[in-house]
């Protein structure tokens, strides 16, 4: 006897063709959404939240756009996740990975309609992805051993990454900032040591790189404004116990003199604590919490610079950079590790005063101060710079470099086409489809620049049939240009991550033949 109904009332299921259609359409819609942000002439999106404050974000970073979307379609969620992973892993290529996955699914849809089994398509895609990767590996350039050339490569990569972002007007300036900051890291990918401070005002051109550490605080009243050879104690402790802290406590006294005694006792307790801290032999005390007037006065008398309420990011980073540890008890000074730096002074940026620590232990540390017209502009500039820093720090480790501007896609498409001709059976259709999907990236770059993409891509394909061609799309002049001359480069690691993530995501969505949406669990079911 057939079961009429398996699921509860609110649960729904989509089977076979309809499930596949829903997946394909969702994924393609997401790809079309971010498609217009791809390339140097890509446009930005405004994201407005409906929550309190209606905050507005202006961005063209694929991962940021997709992260802010609330999506119902399960296949679209897969694409959002791969762009997040791409952002965490290599920092750039977040839009490309979604566009490529969307195109692979668009091609797969045509093949499925032509009665080719999804598994056949998947195995074809697998072969094509492997072939593409090998094609890129043959063409990579590695200048790790030649420091001058390697630095030039890094500059080119930074400028290429920034050219599709808001910083494209001053890309040389920012590329130099990013390369200098990453070169200081000496091969570590820990971007914690690079601090980015955003100060509205001025123009983007006025941004600068400062070695050392800048803390966004003012120096207190009556304290030394400049300290040389500073010994710094970084702490997270309450410095406001000169008041009675027991809430709701009743203290009965028979005269005012007794109240005064209690206050004196409290003050003594505080004085002891301050004395313990000063006994560490320090001349700068940075605290996460408030420091009240009385202890501040004591520190000032002892000639110690006391900085209060340094936010947690600030003190964590300060401890890391000066080589100290965060302390909360001060009974045995010998076990506390102090931080050191050569000079602490107050500097002005725009209207604000900040504290500048220079000559710090960790020579890798530096601060990039961004200036700009508005907070939205600064947020987007920070995201762009972060992308560039991520890509550069990855490239320092894996120094293989490719040309950019649609060149890698054409190289891969050519190799994949050749593979399709050699492969017998239905898989060859899938392999051919893969090469069409790859060509979609240069096509989109040209479309976004308002160029005739069909004409350009056809010229590009003809150029690539010559041996050792370095042709790509030159968006500025609007024709096929020589990428090596224009200095447009990309990191191999980014391209490889885009290729593999997009193929795997497309494969995952292709395998779906049923979507079951569960009913929400009711309260009374739990009884």
Please give the positions annotated as active site: 61, 94-95, 387
74 neighbors 20 (Cβ within 8 angstroms): no
Question: What DSSP string describes 371-403?
Answer: EESSHHHHHHHHHHHHHHHHHHHHHHHS-EEEE
User: Would you give the end-to-end CA distance of the chain in angstroms?
Assistant: 32
Q: What is the DSSP letter of 223?
A: S
**Run of H or E including 479:** strand 479-482
Euclidean distance between CA atoms 365 and 197, whole angstroms: 13
| Burial call 299-327: b when 16+ CB within 10 Å, e when fewer | bbeeebbbbbebeeebbbbbbbbbebebb
Euclidean distance between CA atoms 187 and 2, whole angstroms: 65
Q: Minimal CA–CA distance to 156: which of 168, 172, 167?
A: 172
List % helix, strand, coil for the chain (3-state, nearest 5).
50, 20, 30
- Residue with tokens 């964590």, as numbered in its chain: 316
Query: What HEC string does 245-298 produce?
Result: CCCCCCCCCCCHHHHHHHHHHHHHHHHHHHHHHHCCCCCEEEECCCECHHHHHH
Q: What is the DSSP letter of 227?
A: E
Paired tokens of 311: 């936010």
Strand partners, 351: none
CA dihedral 428, 433, 436, 440 (to 10 degrees): -150
Beta-strand relationship, 471-474 and 213-215: unpaired
């Amino acid at each position: 006897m057939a079961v009429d109904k398996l699921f509860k009332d609110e649960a729904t299921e989509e089977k076979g063709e309809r499930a596949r259609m829903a997946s394909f359409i969702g994924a393609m819609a997401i790809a079309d959404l971010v498609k217009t942000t791809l390339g140097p002439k890509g446009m930005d999106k405004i994201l407005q939240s409906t929550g309190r404050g209606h905050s507005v974000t202006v961005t063209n970073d694929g991962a940021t756009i997709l992260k802010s979307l609330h999506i119902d379609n399960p296949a679209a969620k897969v694409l959002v996740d791969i762009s997040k992973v791409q952002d965490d892993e290599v920092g750039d290529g977040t839009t490309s990975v979604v566009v490529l996955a969307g195109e692979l699914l668009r091609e797969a849809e045509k093949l499925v309609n032509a009665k080719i089994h999804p598994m056949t398509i998947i195995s074809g895609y697998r072969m094509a992805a492997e072939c593409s990767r090998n094609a890129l590996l043959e063409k990579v350039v590695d200048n790790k051993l030649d420091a001058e050339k390697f630095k030039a490569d890094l500059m080119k990569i930074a400028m290429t990454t920034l050219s599709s972002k808001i910083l494209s007007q001053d890309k040389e300036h920012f590329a130099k900032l990013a390369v200098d900051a990453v070169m200081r890291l000496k091969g570590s990918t820990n971007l914690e040591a690079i601090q980015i401070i955003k100060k509205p005002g001025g123009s983007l051109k006025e941004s600068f790189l400062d070695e050392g550490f800048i803390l966004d605080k003012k120096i207190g009243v009556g304290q030394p404004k400049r300290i040389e050879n500073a010994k710094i104690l970084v702490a997270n402790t309450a410095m406001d116990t000169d008041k009675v802290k027991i809430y709701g406590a009743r203290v009965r006294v028979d005269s005012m003199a007794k109240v005064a005694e209690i206050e004196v006792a409290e003050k003594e307790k505080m004085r002891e604590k301050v004395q313990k801290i000063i006994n560490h032999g320090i001349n700068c005390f940075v605290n996460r919490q408030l420091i009240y007037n009385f202890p501040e006065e004591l520190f000032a008398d002892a000639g110690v610079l006391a900085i209060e309420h340094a936010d947690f990011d600030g003190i964590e980073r300060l401890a890391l950079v000066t080589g100290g540890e965060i302390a909360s008890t001060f009974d045995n000074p010998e076990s506390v590790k102090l931080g050191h730096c050569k000079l602490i002074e107050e500097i002005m940026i725009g209207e604000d005063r900040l504290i500048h620590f220079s000559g710090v232990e960790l020579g890798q540390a530096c601060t990039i101060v961004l200036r700009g017209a508005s907070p939205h502009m600064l947020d987007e500039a920070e995201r762009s710079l972060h992308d560039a820093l991520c890509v550069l720090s990855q490239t320092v480790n894996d120094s293989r470099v490719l040309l950019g501007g649609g060149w890698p896609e054409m190289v891969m498409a050519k190799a994949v086409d050749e593979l399709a001709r050699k492969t017998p059976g239905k898989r060859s259709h899938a392999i051919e489809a893969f090469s069409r999907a790859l060509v979609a990236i240069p096509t989109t770059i040209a479309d976004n620049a308002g160029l005739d993409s069909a004409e350009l891509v056809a010229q590009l394909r003809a150029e690539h049939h010559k041996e050792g061609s370095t042709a790509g799309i030159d968006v500025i002049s609007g024709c096929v240009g020589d990428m090596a001359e224009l200095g447009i480069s990309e990191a191999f690691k980014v391209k490889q991550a885009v290729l593999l993530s997009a193929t795997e995501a497309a494969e995952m969505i292709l395998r779906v033949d049923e979507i079951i949406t569960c009913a929400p669990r009711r309260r009374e079911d739990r009884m």
